[in-house]
Structures are given as C-alpha cells and as structure tokens.
Amino acid sequence: MTEKGVTTIPGGGVTSAKGFFAGATCAGLKTRGNDKLDLGIVYSETSCVGAGVFTTNTVVSPGVTLTRERVSSGHIRGVVANSGCANACVGPQGLTDAREMAALAAARLGVGEDEVLVASTGIIGVELPMSLIRGAVDSIEVSPDGGPLFARAIMTTDSHPKEAAVSFEIDGTTCTIGAVAKGVGMIHPNMATLLCFIATDAAVEPGFLREALVGTMNVSLNMVTIDGDSSTNDSAVVLANGAAGNAPIRAETSEVELFQRALTAVCTPLTKMVAKDGEGATKLIEVTVEEAATVEDARRAAKTVASSLLVKAAVHGGDPNWGRVAMALGRSGARVQEETLSLYMNEICVFDVGAPIPFFKEAIVASMQKSEIKIRASLGVGEHSATAWGCDLTEEYVRFNSEYTT
C-alpha cells in the first residue's frame, strides 16, 4: 500500500530512520518459539520525544507501568525488550526487575536509566530470570543494520518477523518512519502480547505525536482481532528523534495529515501481518463496514464480525455463510437493521437491502478458497466506515492452545 506522498521502503524496519540503532542476543529466556534471539535493544543516537498506547487490561505487566510513566518524558534514548517471560502476575518483584532491566540496558548504552523503556512478552506468572539478563545485556551490539535482529528477538510463536518502513518529504527534507511488531493479541497463550515499536527521524511535537499514534492505532492495530483475548503486556510506542532536520510537525501545521498517512501506511501492513500470522491461521479476513451511523458503530460492527468464532470457522471451511455475518452484526451493539442491510462475500452480493438473493453459490465457494477473504457489510443507516482484520479459526489453533502446558 502506498498512500499519497508516502513511499514504502522495501525491507525497511525499526532502524530505517536516521540515528536509530538496534541489536539483540540470546539470553536463554525463550525455551520455545521460532527464534533463539530473546533480548533486544533499540537505541537512538539523540534524545527522542515519545508516545505510547497500552493494553486496557487491568492486570498489567510492570514493564507496561514503567514504560507508560516514562514514554512522554521528552528524553527517551532506547527500548529494551525480551521474549519468553511476560513479567506479569509476579507481585512487587516485577517492577523491581523491570527497573533493573532498563538500568542494565542504560548502562550498556551509556544513557540515563530513566531514558530507557522496557517491554516483555512471554509466560505469565513467572519472574524474569534476571541472572540470565544481567549476563546477556552487555553482549548486545547495536548497529544501523540491527532492526531485523531486534524483530526476531521479540517474536514468541510468531512464524516470521514483522517489519515495515516508509518515507515522505517535508519542505524538501526526507523523513522516514520504521516499525516492528510481534504477536497477535492474546492469541499466543501465555506467550502473549502485541508489541509495536515505531521509530521516526521526523521532528514531531510531543502532543501531536501522541494524537497521531492514537489516530493510527484506531484504524490499524486496534482493529485486529484474533481470539478476543487481550494481553497484560500489549504496547505500541513511537519515538521521534528529529534527525531528519525538518521543522517540528505540530497540530496546526499542514504536514499533520501527511505524517498521519505515513504512520498509518507503516502500521497497516504490520496489522495485516499480525492478523495473517494468527495461531494456526490459514486465511486473512478483512471486514469492512460501511454506511454506519457513527465511526464507533462501524468499528464495533467490523470487529464483532472479524472476531465471531462462527464467521471465522465458516471462512476456514470456505463456507459463504452470510447468516453468521448478519447475526454477528446484530449482536455488535452497533445500529443495525435488517431492512437496510446488504452483505457481500468477496464482493459478491448475498443479501441485498433486507432480502436474501439467489447468488451463484459455486462462484462464491470457489472465491472462498483464496488466502484473503473480504467481507463487506453496508448498514444503510449513515455514512461512516471502518475495516477490521482477523484470521480463520482452525483445528490447529485449538490443538496448539490446548496442548501448550504451563
């Protein structure tokens, strides 16, 4: 996807923007998963303004607590993150360990300990093995090419790393936004957590940075749903170091829309990667709701359809079972009325303004074999729209999540 004025950087990631470095090591925290790297650092040569959005779960990792406190200080130099252990539900020791992990990384980087953010993902209810972390932090070498190493270090049961980057111009100055993500909500059981780190060399005024992050999350990672569960550790953080040299983007300037588009252009492909990589998933489901009474209604309706087990199972079976879509819309809480509702499966109309139509079933069944399934609902009660992403529900999901043992 290339938005107007925004150029995708093939192979780009969290170190694509000027002045950002990253690296990772194997501390021995991750006893399962698809990569041995399990402890990583993102570093900025100069001080960053930052913004973050975090899980709404009331049971949170102390890493989230610490990062939430620090992220908007205006002088962030780095992030340290581990996989294998969520550092959640472990009592007061959790905050002590999160602080020490940040301090260890700060010492390694030669920056202040409150200038480092911290994130964890992995098993809930066991303490961080600090002796392993203490021994490993000093072996991390950060470099401008280290983005892919960091991307691997935060993976748990992800089948592949998830990175994206874009560039755009402000008054002749090229700015870059790079990002890395992992996980799929709480789909990966105790190895929970959606993490997303975004690094830009654009100079951005802190208040607007937060507004832009919320705006992008509302249409990207907040619209992904795999199993309805949400983790104790979900975090998305953006850092802006200003190394591009542009005049700072602030709420009143004309560059606001361009920056928002660029941020969304980085996060949307990550969102789809996350949805498609859902545990056991074989298909990406994209649900678009149009003509909703409010944007909240559109989002709620789209997410409800994308998270309905029966819709997910139908998609898995290649079944154009639109009755399940109508049911999910009706229970979503959004304003939905049968008389004005139309439904499309892969753009083939199956229910037209309140009436089922005799669609060519074989054609839809054939189109349901694709690896990306589009469901579109037109509610006919307003002019707002939203898109949500999810994946199909498979026997493999159940097998994985019931065989996994604590």
The footprint of a copy of itself (CB under 8 A) covers 56-60, 86, 88-91, 123-126, 186, 189-190, 192, 227-232, 307-310, 313-314, 316-317, 319-324, 326-331, 335-338, 341, 351, 354-356, 361, 392-395, 397-399, 401-406
Report the residue number, 155 or 191, with the smaller CB distance to a copy of itself.
191
- Nearest-approach distance from CB 251 to a copy of itself, in angstroms: 32
Q: Is 159 left (phi over 0), alpha (psi -120 to 50) or beta?
A: alpha
Report the residue number, 2 or 405, with the smaller CB distance to a copy of itself.
405
- Nearest-approach distance from CB 233 to a copy of itself, in angstroms: 10
Provide, for the chain, the percentages of residues in helix, strand and coil under a 3-state DSSP scheme, each rounded to the nearest 5. Answer: 35, 30, 40
Tokens of 342: 């139309």
CA distance 1 to 9: 11
- Nearest-approach distance from CB 210 to a copy of itself, in angstroms: 23
The answer to whether 182 touches 194, Cβ cutoff 8 Å, is yes
Let me know the angle formed at the C-alpha of 283 by 274 and 338, rounded to the nearest 5 degrees. 100
**Which residues are tagged catalytic?**
193
Report the residue number, 267 or 325, with the smaller CB distance to a copy of itself.
325
- Nearest-approach distance from CB 342 to a copy of itself, in angstroms: 12
Three-state secondary-structure class, residue 116: strand
- Nearest-approach distance from CB 335 to a copy of itself, in angstroms: 8
The answer to whether 280 touches 226, Cβ cutoff 8 Å, is no
Report the residue number, 2 or 56, with the smaller CB distance to a copy of itself.
56
C-alpha torsion angle, residues 127, 238, 21, 176 (rounded to 10): 160
Report the residue number, 270 or 393, with the smaller CB distance to a copy of itself.
393
The answer to whether 156 touches 121, Cβ cutoff 8 Å, is yes
